[in-house]
């Protein structure tokens, strides 16, 4: 038996023994994920057990080095772990912005002390992070941000406003972009800084979305004093002062990679099961075809595109592991994933017809199809709009000229 | 299974890239189109390809082939698609070799596989009888007579039909039009006097023929695979054909897209490179993403054929559907983004547009394969 086959056998046995039955529901949505953090309460005993067992194996962050709480797996081993996890429809034991965004950026840019503190906290599910990038005047044009950060000797003084900060109200720490030089060209005066959301001067206000719900906040930063250092060589700033744009971009590539490989397409709202679902709801005609030819065609097309997309995630991941990473191609996955995600719930709404448009007396229920359908409109906006992904693909992948 | 090429396959790709660019580039195809040779391709070049192991690319080594499997065949087809290389590769090395290697008797293998691999013998597969692909609807008849059969009927759009030495004909030995049971494959010599072959020039300038057979007597030895149970074999051959055609279309689409982005980088209008206009950039970015999806679908179908031939049918179908759509979009956009020059005969993109149209019609267009997928999935 080769080493990889041996690893697969071991992983399969481990998952079989350790993943509770309740965590094998395959329906992986934002609502039933384990997010961790100081305010986190497990939704069930099974979720807690699953998290703790995975943690003890380093499987909350399988490819991170063991010293930071990972399992130190190779890319190939991680793929096997993921395949075997998906084969039994198991949820991820822990899922948050720290794992998918900040972690990789810290691995690339952090000092040993920063890594030791923050990566370990993420791996152990102790600290939940939020992303302080966007501002009212700096969305797609992120580098236009104006939140001001002044050097006050032993601390930084921060003033400004962030917007769209997902889950700011329930997060422990923030990774934030601030301006440390207003005179430099806009990309060269930005600094990447980390601070505790419990620091005095921070207030958050929820933003209600068209779905009626609000995991998002406006974040106001009013004379926030951030210590320069959280211990020896553990600065609040990651990378160099005024050179935070490099860190920010690195993180965005990971964010888009994560968004582009996310699983909303695989759950029950995804296109994969739409045909069967529609056949049950609508019925078949005498020749065995779905009794709504136009809808049938749209479903087939979505399933076909979804299939090709999933293969592309697999191929690009294999290519990235064999070469130099995903790079700007993550924008292709991000774009494709957001369009498919939207189409999935749009079609589901069509299949269910008016039934799906009925909401309860208390409004749109969180986690309902209507809620997901409305929320999914945001996929092609958050993490950079589709148009911005197109700009990136044109310039970074295709090398087309600028105006 | 990793969804990338291994080292050997990459070397094959490099070799094919270099060889075709030198010996069979688009200019060579253009010459064939304009000089209209009877064969429709260059025999010497085909023998040279055979010497490099291309004609027997999927044929196992014990039968004189190079044993590269379908991923290998796809690697070659993609490069041929990039260069619009004219050759009997598809009809002979993919369809013919698949039919014999997968479904032939030991004797049939011995008689044919080495001859395919050496480039000596050309094959063609005769399936369709109407303008649109429909392998279930076969009326071509094979009546029992003596200790054999009498074949009669007509076939359309047989790739390389007029130059093939041997024909594989899907005929009906029992049942009604539309039944999948009752279809049998026959392997016959193409130059029998009862066979009339008429070349039908196509818009892509490739070889195709109508074939009329009138009372051809064959023995039971001519059967390839099972009597009455040939449909399964036919599906297998078609799957291989669909996957490799998809690889060819993928090559054409990638090539045309590369030419287009180059043009966007150099052509100036309104005092700027046209590639700086967002109206074109966003369409190019969309197309680039679709091309990545297409490449994954193609590679998956080829890998599935190599890993589990009998169960690869649905992935080959999906690959053909996706590739048909994307390759058509790529060639249409190529013409549009080139402006006026794109619709001139002198410029190459039109050749790709025509070839992709025909290739995507062949063995089922996107609509055919979408329908097949939906039925297979129970809706
Ligand atoms: C649900 C949700 C969650 C989010 N979570 C976070 C978070 O946690 N942290 C965070 O920092 N941010 C977050 N965001 C913010 C998100 O990154 C921004 O909304 C996004 O980058 C778009 O910016 P904007 O909303 O200001 O739109 P704008 O930039 O004003 O864009 C308006 C329109 O103009 C188009 N446009 C803009 N510039 C160009 C251009 N150059 N070319 C072509 N078209 C262009 C856009 O594509 C869009 O269609 C979130 C957003 C949403 C909706
Ligand atoms: C069949 C035919 C007949 C014709 N007949 C005549 C005739 O009788 N008389 C005559 O004078 N001309 C004629 N023309 C020329 C025709 O008007 C031009 O071909 C047309 O204006 C496009 O110019 P172009 O070919 O130089 O393409 P380009 O201008 O080079 O365009 C190339 C691509 O860039 C795009 N593009 C260019 N500028 C922009 C922009 N600012 N924003 C976004 N995209 C842009 C175009 O849409 C196109 O996709 C004819 C052309 C053809 C093909």
Closest approach of A96 to chain B, Cα-based (Å):
27
DSSP symbols for A144-208: G---EEEE-SSEEEEEEEEEEEETGGG-SEEEEEEES-SSS-GGGSEEEEEEETTSTTEEEEEE-
- Residue B50 parent element (H or E): helix B43-51
* Nearest Cα residue to atom 39 of ligand 2: B274
- Contact list in B for residue A389 (CB cut-off 8 A) is 285
| Nearest of A241, A33, A264 to residue A149 by alpha carbon | A241
- Count of alpha carbons within 13 Å of B204, Cβ hemisphere only? 24
pTM higher than 0.90: yes
How would you write the pLDDT of chain B (379 residues) with one tens digit per residue?
789 999 999 999 999 999 999 999 999 999 999 999 999 999 999 999 999 999 999 999 999 999 999 999 999 999 999 999 999 999 999 999 999 999 999 999 999 999 999 999 999 999 999 999 999 899 999 999 999 999 999 999 999 999 999 999 999 999 998 899 999 999 999 999 999 999 999 999 999 999 999 999 999 999 999 999 999 999 999 999 999 999 999 999 999 999 999 999 999 999 999 999 999 999 999 999 999 999 999 999 999 999 999 999 999 999 999 999 999 999 999 999 999 999 999 999 999 999 999 999 999 999 999 999 999 999 9
Q: Among residues A84, A255, A272, A303, which one is catalytic? A: A255
Residue-wise burial string across A282-298, b where 16 or more C-beta atoms lie within 10 A, e elsewhere:
beeeeeeebebeebbeb
- Contact list in A for residue B286 (CB cut-off 8 A) is 390
Residues B276, A176: Cα–Cα separation, whole Å: 32
Best of A385, A387, A391, A400 for a ligand 1 pocket test (most atoms within 8 Å of beta carbon): A385
Which residues, numbered 293 to 332 in chain B, qualify as contacts with chain A under a Cβ-Cβ cut-off of 8 Å? 293-297, 299-300, 318, 321-322
Residues B343, B340: Cα–Cα separation, whole Å: 6
CB B57 within 8 A of CB B13: no
Contact B145/A at CB under 8 A: no
How would you write the pLDDT of chain A (403 residues) with one tens digit per residue?
788 889 999 999 999 999 999 999 875 667 788 999 999 999 999 999 999 999 999 999 999 999 999 999 998 899 899 889 988 989 999 988 999 899 999 999 999 999 999 999 999 999 999 999 999 999 999 999 999 999 999 999 999 999 999 999 999 999 999 999 999 999 999 999 999 999 999 999 999 999 888 888 999 999 999 999 998 889 999 999 999 999 999 898 888 877 777 644 444 445 558 898 899 999 999 999 999 999 999 999 999 999 999 999 989 988 988 887 788 899 999 999 999 989 988 999 999 999 999 998 889 988 888 998 999 999 999 999 999 999 999 999 999 999 8
CB B264 within 8 A of CB B282: no
Residues A44, A22: Cα–Cα separation, whole Å: 9
**Angle between the N-to-C axes of helices A293-322 and A75-87, in degrees from 0 to 180, rounded to the nearest 10:** 150
ipTM: 0.95
Residues B378, A43: Cα–Cα separation, whole Å: 37
CB contact under 8 A, B297 and A307: yes
Residues A239, A192: Cα–Cα separation, whole Å: 7
Beta strand spans in B97-165 (E): 123-126, 141-145, 148-159
**pLDDT tens digit string along B202-213?**
999 999 999 999
| pLDDT, position A269 | 44
| pLDDT, position B76 | 98
Name the β-bridge partners of A192.
A177, A238
Contact B268/A at CB under 8 A: no
């Amino acid at each position: 038996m080769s080493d990889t086959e041996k690893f697969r056998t071991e992983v399969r046995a481990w998952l079989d023994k350790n993943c509770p039955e309740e965590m094998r529901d395959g329906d992986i949505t934002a609502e039933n994920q384990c997010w961790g953090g100081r305010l986190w309460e497990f939704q069930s005993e099974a979720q807690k057990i699953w998290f703790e067992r995975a943690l003890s194996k380093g499987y909350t962050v399988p490819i991170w080095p063991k010293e930071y709480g990972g399992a130190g797996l190779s890319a190939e081993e991680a793929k096997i772990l993921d395949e075997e996890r998906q084969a039994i429809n198991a949820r991820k034991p822990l899922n948050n912005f720290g794992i998918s965004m900040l972690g990789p950026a810290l691995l690339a840019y952090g000092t040993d002390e920063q890594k030791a503190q923050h990566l370990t906290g993420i791996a152990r599910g102790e600290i939940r992070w939020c992303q302080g990038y966007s501002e009212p005047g700096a969305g797609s044009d992120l580098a236009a941000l104006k939140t001001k950060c002044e050097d006050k000797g032993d601390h930084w003084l921060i003033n400004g406003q962030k917007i769209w900060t997902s889950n700011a109200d329930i997060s422990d720490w923030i990774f934030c972009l601030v301006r440390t030089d207003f005179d430099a060209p806009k990309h060269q005066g930005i600094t990447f800084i980390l601070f505790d959301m419990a620091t005095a001067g921070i207030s958050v206000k929820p933003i209600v979305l068209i779905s009626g719900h609000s995991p998002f906040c406006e974040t106001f930063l009013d004379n926030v004093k951030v210590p320069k250092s959280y211990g020896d060589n553990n600065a609040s700033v990651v990378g160099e002062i005024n050179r935070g744009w490099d860190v920010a971009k690195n993180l965005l590539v990971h964010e888009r990679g994560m968004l582009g490989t996310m699983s909303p397409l695989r759950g029950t709202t995804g296109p994969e099961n739409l045909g069967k679902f529609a056949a049950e709801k609508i019925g078949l005609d005498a020749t065995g075809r779905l009794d709504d030819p136009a809808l049938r065609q749209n479903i087939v097309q979505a399933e076909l595109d979804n299939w090709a997309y999933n293969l592309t995630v697999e191929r690009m991941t294999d290519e990235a592991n064999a070469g130099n990473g995903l790079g700007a191609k993550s924008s292709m996955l991000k774009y494709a994933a957001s369009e498919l995600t939207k189409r999935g719930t749009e079609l589901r709404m069509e299949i269910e017809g008016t039934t799906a448009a009925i909401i309860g007396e208390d409004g749109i229920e969180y986690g309902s199809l209507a809620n997901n359908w409305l929320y999914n409109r945001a996929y092609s906006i958050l993490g950079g709009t589709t148009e911005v992904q197109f700009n990136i693909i044109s310039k970074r992948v295709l090398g087309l000229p600028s105006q | 299974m990793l969804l990338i090429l291994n080292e050997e396959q990459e070397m094959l790709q490099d070799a094919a890239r270099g060889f075709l660019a030198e010996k069979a580039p688009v200019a060579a195809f253009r010459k064939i189109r304009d000089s209209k040779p009877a064969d429709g391709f260059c025999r010497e070049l085909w023998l040279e390809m055979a010497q490099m192991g291309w004609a027997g690319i999927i044929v196992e080594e014990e039968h004189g082939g190079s044993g590269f499997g379908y991923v290998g065949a796809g690697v070659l087809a993609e490069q041929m698609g990039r260069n619009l290389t004219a050759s009997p590769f598809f009809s002979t090395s993919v369809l013919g070799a698949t039919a014999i290697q997968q479904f032939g008797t030991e004797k049939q293998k011995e008689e044919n596989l080495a001859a395919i691999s050496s480039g000596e013998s050309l094959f063609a597969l005769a399936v369709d009888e109407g303008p649109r692909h429909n392998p279930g609807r076969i009326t071509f008849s094979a009546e029992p007579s003596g200790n054999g059969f009498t074949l009669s009927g007509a076939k359309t759009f047989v790739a390389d039909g007029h130059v093939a030495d041997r024909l594989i004909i899907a005929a009906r030995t029992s049942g009604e039009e539309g039944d999948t049971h009752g279809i049998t494959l026959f392997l016959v010599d193409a130059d029998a006097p009862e066979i009339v072959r008429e070349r039908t020039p196509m818009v892509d300038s490739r070889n195709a023929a109508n074939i009329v057979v009138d009372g051809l007597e064959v023995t039971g030895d001519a059967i390839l695979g099972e009597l009455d149970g040939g449909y399964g074999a036919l599906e297998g051959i078609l799957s291989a054909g669909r996957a490799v055609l998809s690889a060819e279309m993928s090559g054409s689409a990638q090539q045309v897209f590369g030419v287009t982005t180059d043009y966007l980088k150099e052509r100036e209008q309104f005092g700027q490179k046209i590639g700086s206009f967002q109206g074109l950039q966003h369409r190019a970015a969309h197309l680039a993403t679709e091309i990545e999806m297409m490449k994954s679908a193609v590679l998956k179908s080829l890998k599935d054929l190599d890993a589990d031939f009998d169960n690869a049918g649905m992935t080959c179908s999906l690959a053909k559907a996706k590739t048909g759509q994307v390759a058509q979009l790529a060639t249409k956009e190529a013409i549009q983004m080139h402006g006026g020059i794109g619709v001139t005969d002198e410029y190459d993109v039109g050749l790709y547009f025509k070839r992709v149209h025909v290739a995507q019609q062949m063995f089922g267009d996107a609509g055919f394969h979408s329908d097949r997928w939906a039925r297979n999935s129970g809706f």
